[in-house]
A and B are shown apart, each in its own frame.
Chain A
Amino acid sequence: MTGYVVRRVLWLVPVLWAVATITFILMHAVPGGPFTQEKPLPQSIINALNARYNLNEPLWKQYVLYLWHILHLDLGLSFRGDRDVAELIRAGFFVTVQLGFLGFLVAAVLGLTLGVFSALNQNGPMDYIGVFFATVGASLPNFVLAAFLIIIFAVKLGWFDVLGWGGPTQIGDALDPGAWHLKKMVLPIIAVAALPAAYIARVTRASMLEVLSQDYIRTAHAKGLANYVVILRHAIKNAMIPVLTIMGPTAAVLVTGSFIIETTFAIPGVGRAFVDAVLRRDYAMIMGSTLFYTAIVAFANLVVDVLYAVVDPRIRYR
């Protein structure tokens, strides 16, 4: 197992390199550069700007320069105001991970509870309600859901606020209770958690149903164990295996940020910053964010694969 983990970590390096190269090529293949605009800048100015940011060098040279800087952990400067890319990503990620993590918690708790109760009351009223919510949550595109939530709960009823992120935007504020405004956090978290919760609920339900039909459950009942003991000690644990499989990618998706939700609530996260950078052809920011994103996802994949192997003794990695 250790060998497997080590090998996977080592593979990260060529993967990152491949991603960086593909991004670089595609980025420069797309028309328009960071200084292209409708009211064209006079050529002398474009020349001066290009010189400033080394955009006049031949492409291969820019590529090599960039890789060289990466090895020194220098992600470069964003064209927007010459701000440090690493700094921007760090600040954005801090907010995105709060949203993602809380969203994941809510989705997991909601989904698991709904799924378990639905399975326990199969075909009963609880089941239908559960399935209904699960399907509804999964049927609406999340920006539509977000818009409806905002209009009903914030604009019409005034229960919640919609602007920005209710948690601390700077790391120093994390422990300051004044920096947490729950009123602002509720709607974005619900919007982000709805689809994963629905999905988790469905998988949990199916998995619970399958486990409950197994012989060892029947044996446990026959042994005279109380119902709740049977469920807690035997059923849930075994039902978790397939659920864990999907929770991994779900967590990765949530943590890397949803651009749509961040835009809808004006949350200064890394998802929004990234799409913005692509649309503005901010090369340094695009490369930095892509590498960062890739590293996170690859790492999350690895964690899930390891967890899967640990939890299910039948799986063996060569």
Chain B
Amino acid sequence: MLSSRWRLPFLIGALITMVALLAMACGGGEEKKEGATPTKAAGGEKAPADQQVLIVQQNEPEYFDPHRSNFEQDISIEKMLFRGLYQLVPAEDGGVKVEPAMADGEPQVSGNVYTIKLKSGLKWSDGQPLIAQHYADGILRSCSPDVASPYQYILGASILGIEGCDEYFGALGSAEEPKSPTPEELKTLRDAVGVKAVDDTTLEVTLLQPKSTFTTIMSLWSAFPARQDIIDKYGEKWTDPGNIVVNGPYTMTEFVPKDHVTLEPNPNWALEPKPTIQKLTIKFIDDTSVAFRAYQTGEIDIVNFPESEIPTVKADPKLNEAYLLEGTGRMDAVEMQLKDPTLSDFNVRLAISRAIDRKTLNDVVYNGSSIPATYWLVQGIPGYQGNEPFESIIGYDPEAAKKALADAGYPDGQGFPDVKLLMRDDAVQRSLAEFLQNQWKTVLNVNIGLEFVDAKTRSSRFNSQDFQLYRGGWQIDYPDPENPLIGLFDTGGGNNMYNCSDPDIDAKLKAAATETNEAARIKLLQDAETLIVTKLCGVAPITQLARVYLVNTKIGGLTPNGAIDSGLPGNWGVEHWFVKAQ
């Protein structure tokens, strides 16, 4: 054996070697793939600045497959990789408008049949022509039971209503009653879906009834085109860099899970302008404070930072220049379970709503960045009514709140039963909860308890309706007033977890779903909003949320998204970005 004096160093060396070996032994296969070779952008008349941008996105995407995506972080990147027949662009008035993208002009409507003509000469990033069949395949994927798209319902009968989409999707039955269709039956169902490529440049979509939201929905990710041959060839891995084929301004050249994704221009991008930024790196950092500090050290160019740091940003001239406040399509509200005996009394709900000083809440919790709100249809979409009709009815008024509580049978909070507010445990939510709790204590003299759980537990309890008060809300999927209403407030609606059940509201929503006159439809939806808010049928709106970003001033051509914000400003038109000459 080694003499005693060498034992120790030997052992330490052995330990080190073992750990090193362990690390190396765990090594193996490799992820870094060579992607499409980057090409110089066509529109390079901008000064020779380094056309590279590094962005931080809060969450890592689950998929890059637009027909399987569910979350805004996925969709945000997919918008840069793919483009639909139509696209949404921010309008000058702060709203949103729909423009033809790959389509050549507006669709021809004849009864329930919509005919869209594609532009000519469209190509995919691998050089193959982009034809109408690809768009048909995309829609079929969204309706397919194998793909299990979370957004299938947008193409289904409850929203757009493409013929046969729901039947095809339901082909495998449910967990309780599974069905096993034969391949022939599946093919029949698939062929019965109302989308057909008449020829290479003509697409025909058959709806159950005409809808004015047609082009809006055709611009969403569920209707992005699909290359069935690529998907069949690579299976699950078709979105890996090197395999993926896109029709958008950028293609993906590198993906390191949990870290970042790199995008480079697609040489076959059909529309104008051609992308100027040569390399777009998107890093995933879930803690916005961490991202904020990385911006300050100059390591990143665009970041969504926490509202708590707004004073820091405003105090620093350089940061202040880069500050961007972007309204979002998200409403925040205190949701109230109408099945709960205490909350089923309208006066109790009124007291709760009128005791909240929304303006101070905005100042204290969000540093003034959001919009205090008593409305439900967000600013930026048609039908927005603003605070005016509702402020005096459910807005802040301590005296009225106390009176309402007394009318409900709890004068000065006497005998008020145990009610809890269910929250998620993170920094802003804590502040919000503690603020609200304090408001209800000082104005109404009631002790509303706070329950903090993690996100999944909270969602699970929400979906099983196991809550009394819940801080919830709704983020619009597309800029139309039907989106935050239908399904949320109709009796038995899929998202109606607070059990709002009012025959007047049901009537309005039903009428709006079938109304073909656009102005009348919007009016019906506004009426529904008025009923919902004034009756506090499940929700008491508090604020319309905004996001605050820092966008390095060297980046030009970035138009904020407004109501269609999905976590990254200007991502609807990323081909317009450029880095300014230094």
Chain B contacts of A303 at CB under 8 A? 15, 18
Cβ contact within 8 Å between B456 and A163? no
Assess A51 versus B175: contact at CB under 8 Å? Given A80-B60, A163-B300.
yes
B495 pairs with A39, CB closer than 8 A: yes
> B27 on the interface (CB 8 Å rule)?
yes
Q: Does chain B have a CB within 8 A of A94?
A: yes
Chain A residues numbered 201-249 whose CB sits less than 8 Å from any CB in chain B: 233, 237, 240
**CB pair B174 A163 closer than 8 Å:** no
Please, which residues of chain B bring their CB within 8 A of the CB of A255? 19
**With A32-B459, A81-B63 known to touch, is A155 a contact of B26 (CB < 8 Å)?**
no
Report the minimal beta-carbon distance from B370 to chain A, rounded to whole angstroms. Answer: 19
Judge if A180 is at the interface, Cβ distance under 8 Å: no
- Bound CA span A222–B557, Å: 81
Taking the closest CB of chain B, its distance from the CB of A313, in whole angstroms, is 9
User: Which residues in B have their C-beta under 8 angstroms from that of A311?
Assistant: 7-8, 11
Distance A172 CA – B27 CA, assembled complex (angstroms): 9
Which chain B residue has the least Cβ–Cβ distance from A84? B29
A263-B286 in contact (CB<8A):
yes
* A76 CB-CB contact with B under 8 Å: no
Closest to A43 in B: B174
Assuming the contacts A37-B459, A172-B32, asked whether A164 and B283 have C-beta atoms less than 8 A apart, the reply is: yes
Please measure, in the bound complex, the distance between the C-alpha atom of A11 and the C-alpha atom of B167, giving whole angstroms. Answer: 54
Q: For the complex, is A265 an interface residue (Cβ under 8 Å from B)?
A: yes
In the assembled complex, the CB of B474 is this many whole angstroms from the nearest CB of chain A, namely: 8
Residues of chain A within 8 A (CB-CB) of B463 are 36, 40
Nearest CB in chain A to that of B31: its residue: A170
Q: In the bound complex, do residue B287 and residue A31 qualify as a contact, i.e. CB atoms below 8 Å apart?
A: no
Evaluate whether A38 and B458 lie within 8 angstroms (CB atoms) in the complex, with A43-B174, A163-B294, A171-B30 already known. yes
In this assembly, does A117 line the interface, its C-beta being within 8 Å of a C-beta of chain B?
Answer: no
Asked if B15 contacts A307 (CB within 8 A), the reply is yes
Q: Please, which residue of chain B has its CB at the minimum distance from the CB of A300?
A: B19
Q: Is the CB of A171 within 8 A of B293?
A: no
A residues within 8 A CB of B152?
42, 44-45
**In A41-57, which residues have CB < 8 Å from any B CB?**
41-45, 47-52, 56
- Output the least CB separation between B9 and chain A (Å): 10
- Within residues 280 to 302 of chain B, which ones have a CB less than 8 A from any CB in chain A? 283, 285-287, 290-291, 293-294, 296-300
| Contacts of A283-314 to chain B: CB distance below 8 A | 303, 307, 310-311
**A106 close to B (CB within 8 Å):** no
A91 touches B61 (CB 8 A): no
Per-position binary interface string of chain A over residues 65-90, scored 1 when its CB falls under 8 Å from any chain B CB and 0 otherwise: 00000000000000111110001101
A134 to chain B, nearest CB (A): 22
Query: Inside 8 A of A240's CB, which chain B residues have their CB?
Result: 8
* Contact B27–A30 (Cβ < 8 Å): no
Pick from A36, A37, A237, A272: contact of B8, CB below 8 A.
A237
Q: How far is the CB of A63 from chain B (nearest CB, A)?
A: 19
SS of A interface (majority): helix
Complex Cα spacing A93 to B495, Å: 40
Among B7, B174, B175, B291, point to the contact of A310 (Cβ < 8 A).
Answer: B7
B259 touches A169 (CB 8 A): yes
- Asked if A138 is at the interface (CB within 8 A of a chain B CB), the reply is no
Question: Within the complex, which residue of A49, A88, A97, A98 is in contact with B257, where a contact is CB–CB below 8 Å?
Answer: A88
A10 vs B427: C-alpha distance when bound (angstroms): 46
The 8 Å CB contact of A97, one of B23, B169, B494, is B23
A273 to B150, CA, bound (A): 24
> Taking CB as reference atom, which chain A residue is nearest B256?
A169
Measured between alpha carbons, how far is A158 from B298 in the docked complex, in Å?
A: 9
Report Cα–Cα, A33/B456, bound state, in Å: 7
A103 contacts B by Cβ under 8 Å: no
Q: Is B411 close to A, CB under 8 A?
A: no
* Shortest Cβ distance from B177 into A: residue: A47
B149 within 8 A of partner (CB)? yes
A264 touches B27 (CB 8 A): no
CA distance A91 to B23 in the complex (A): 11
Chain A residue numbers with a CB within 8 Å of B22 are 97
Tell whether B148 is near chain A: CB-to-CB under 8 Å: yes
B145 within 8 A of A: yes
Q: Is the CB of B290 within 8 A of A266?
A: yes
For A, the interface residue count at a CB cutoff of 8 angstroms equals: 70
Q: Are B462 and A151 in contact (CB under 8 A)?
A: no
Distance of A193 from chain B, by nearest CB (Å):
16
Instruction: Report chain B residues within 8 Å CB of A237.
Output: 5, 8
Give the residue name and chain of the A residue nearest to B173 (CB). A47
A38, A160, A164, A263: the one within 8 Å of B287 (CB):
A263
- The answer to whether residues A87 and B29 also contact, given A45-B152, A265-B290, A310-B7 and a CB cut-off of 8 A, is yes
Q: Which residues of A contact B29 (CB under 8 A)?
A: 87
Q: Which residues of B contact A164 (CB under 8 A)?
A: 259, 283
| B-contact bits for A166-189, CB 8 A (1 contact / 0 none) | 000111100000000000000000
Measured CA separation A264–B453 after assembly (Å): 22
The answer to whether the Cβ of A279 comes within 8 Å of any Cβ in the partner chain is yes
**Residue A161 at the B interface, CB < 8 A?**
yes
Q: State A172–B256 Cα separation when bound (angstroms).
A: 13
Check A170–B296 contact: CB distance below 8 A.
no
Contacts of A47 in B (CB 8 A): 172-175
B107 CB–A CB distance under 8 Å: no
Whole-angstrom CA separation of A37 from B150 in the bound complex: 11
Kindly report which residue of chain A lies nearest to residue B71, judged by CB atoms.
Answer: A37
With A45-B149, A158-B297 known to touch, is A30 a contact of B457 (CB < 8 Å)?
yes
- Evaluate contact between B297 and A154: CB separation under 8 angstroms: yes
Interface residue? B199 (CB, 8 A): no
Q: In this complex, what residue of A is CB-closest to B456?
A: A32
Whole-angstrom distance between the alpha carbons of A38 and B70 in the complex? 12
A contact residues around B286 at 8 Å (CB): 263, 276
Contact, CB under 8 Å: B256 / A263? no
B28 on the interface (CB 8 Å rule)?
Answer: yes
Report Cα–Cα, A160/B30, bound state, in Å. 29
- Are the CB atoms of B456 and A31 closer together than 8 Å? yes
B28 in complex: contacting residue of A33, A40, A155, A171, CB < 8 Å = A171
Q: Does A251 sit within 8 A of B, measured CB to CB? A: yes
A162 at interface by CB-CB < 8 Å: yes
A81 near B258 with CB under 8 A, answer no
Q: Is the CB of B294 within 8 A of A162?
A: yes
B153 touches A42 (CB 8 A): yes
Which residues of chain B from 160 to 207 have a CB within 8 Å of any chain A CB? Answer: 169-170, 172-175
Let me know if B232 is at the binding interface, CB within 8 A: no
Contact with B along A87-128 (1 / 0, CB 8 A): 110111110011001000000000000000000000000000
Contacts of A233 in B (CB 8 A): 5
Question: Of the candidates A30, A32, A51, A93, which one forms a contact with B26 in the assembled complex, judged by CB atoms under 8 Å apart?
Answer: A93
Residues of B within 8 A of A32 (CB): 456-457, 459-460
A267 CA / B310 CA spacing, docked (Å): 26
- The reply to whether A42 and B494 form a contact with Cβ atoms under 8 Å apart is yes
Is residue A150 contacting chain B, with contact meaning CB distance below 8 A?
yes
Instruction: Given contact pairs A32-B459, A163-B294, enumerate 8 new A-B contacts (beta carbons under 8 Å).
Output: A47-B174, A88-B258, A162-B290, A162-B297, A164-B259, A240-B8, A263-B290, A311-B7
- What are some 5 contacts across the A-B interface (CB < 8 A)? A81-B62, A161-B297, A162-B299, A164-B283, A266-B291
The 6 A-B pairs of least Cβ separation, nearest first, read A32-B456, A48-B148, A32-B460, A171-B27, A163-B294, A268-B258
